[in-house]
Amino acid sequence: MSAFELAVAAMIIMFAVSATLLVAVVVLKLVNNRRRHAHQKRRAAFLKLLSKHIAAPGSVEELTVQEAGDDAFLDAVIDVRHMLAGPTVEELAGIIDRTGLIGYQAKRLQSRFPLGRRLRAAVSLAEIADARAAKLLLQHLNDPIPEIRVQAARGLARMRYTAAIDVILDRFNHETPWVRSRFAESLALFDRDVVWPLMAFVRVHHNHEDDVGVPDIVRILGVIGDSEVGPPLAELLYTATSVEVKIAIIETLGLVGGPMALRPLRRMIQSNDWRIRAKTASAFSEIGDPSVKPTLAEGLEDPSWWVRRNCAAGLAHLPGGIDFLHKALDSDDEFSRDAAAEALADSGELVAARDRLEAGTADERDFKLVAYMHSSDLVSS
């Protein structure tokens, strides 16, 4: 066979293979579309049956253990679970019990493979949040797959299984930063039940040499929003050595500390670290106490752009703070003028000043602000 014939044969083979692959892709896409449509149809039917049972308990007899292995039924149960609260959850629990759904998903989770099926089971148990799965999820907090550990913690938190709080916290020393952050998000679902265990964890570990997720835990205390943690967190602000921990405490004090947190925060605004000063300025703004206006006004001349920016933004949100920003436009410090002008523009003062100019009702401050924003005095950060 000549070289030309070999080349032609190779081209024909390549064309045939490509055509076969193209046909396979098209067929696979069609099959997947049909499966998806069939899944959606079954899911809608199950939703109808479940809704009918919730509305009139005992009226549905079609649901049996055979449905436990149908992913469409599982999706329908999860959808209904998200919509229910109070006594109606017990009606859904009866269906789950009759179909053996928890046991079926537990077997999938305990299987060694495939991984996708195990992950699906872990997510499903977390979403359903049935207390009968608590002990199983507790065991899988040690699962070798990180995402399964995360879903186990989330499920335990969703069902408010408080016995899991200490177990999850104990895992912090052994987890990667990503898993710790996800664990922290789950702990927030316990709400006030977890506040003092978290506070105890922070007390013990806030000066730990290794990163054990203390900043994440502190921020979760802010998310929960219990003001009683303000005083103990303020005390730790004096003893904490880690900048990240201090920043997290300052951020949380801005949310839950209230006026009682102003004293330690005024000390932090004098820190040598610009990150701490910047976060403290933001915390002052969150607390919203007008007494901090002079402190924020001094911060407009801070060497750090971030501190100046946060101080100016804080003044813009405080009653009477706009007056301090207008005064800063006369400052000898060009950086202070820029920070004040930017905050005035962001707060809507610039637009309002232009409107008053057009209406002929502008005052001296309006002229000064508009002139400054159109001048060449703006300094880059």
Q: At 115, give phi and psi (nearest 5°).
A: -65, -40
Decide if 179 is inside a domain. Answer: no
Neighbours of 168 (CB within 10 A): 24
List the domain range (segments joined by +) for residue 303. 298-381
308 in a domain, yes or no?
yes
> Is residue 257 domain-resident?
no
Burial 250-277 (b: 16+ CB within 10 A, else e): bbbbbbbbeeebbebbeebbebeeebbb
Gap between the Cα atoms of 141 and 169, Å rounded: 11
Contact 130, 96 (CB under 8 A): yes
Closest alpha carbon to 126 in 157, 100, 101, 84: 157
- Give the dihedral of Cα atoms 216, 217, 223, 225; nearest 10 deg: -150
Q: Is 356 helix (H, G, I), strand (E, B) or coil?
A: helix
Q: Give the per-residue pLDDT at 381.
A: 40
Q: Is the CA virtual torsion 66, 69, 75, 77 positive or negative?
A: positive
Query: What is the total count of domains within the chain?
Result: 1
Read off the DSSP letter of residue 144: S
Q: What are the pLDDT tens digits along the chain (381 aa)?
A: 688 888 888 899 999 999 999 999 999 999 999 999 999 999 999 998 888 888 877 665 567 777 788 999 999 999 999 998 877 888 888 889 888 999 999 999 999 888 999 999 999 999 999 999 999 999 999 999 999 999 999 999 999 999 999 999 999 988 999 999 999 999 999 999 999 999 999 999 999 877 689 999 999 999 999 999 999 999 999 999 999 999 999 999 999 999 999 999 999 999 999 999 999 999 999 999 999 999 999 999 999 999 999 999 999 999 999 999 999 999 999 999 999 999 999 999 999 999 999 999 999 999 999 999 988 444 444
Which pLDDT score, from 0 to 100, does residue 95 have? 86
Task: For residue 2, tell me if it sits in a domain.
Answer: no
10 Å CB burial of residue 23 (0-12, 13-18, 19+) is exposed
Query: Is residue 211 included in any domain, yes or no?
Result: no
In a domain, 69, yes or no: no
Residue 377 forms part of a structural domain: yes
Neighbours of 151 (CB within 10 A): 27
User: What is the predicted pLDDT for the residue at 209?
Assistant: 76
Would 322 be classed as within a structural domain? yes
Helix (H) or strand (E) holding 222: helix 214-224
Query: Of 134, 139, 127, 181, whose CA–CA distance to 160 is shortest?
Result: 134
The pLDDT score that the predictor gives to residue 380 is: 42
Cα 256 to Cα 30, 76, 261, 301, distances in angstroms: 55, 39, 9, 28
Give residue 211's pLDDT: 66
Looking from the CA of 273 toward its CB, the CA atoms found within 13 Å total: 12
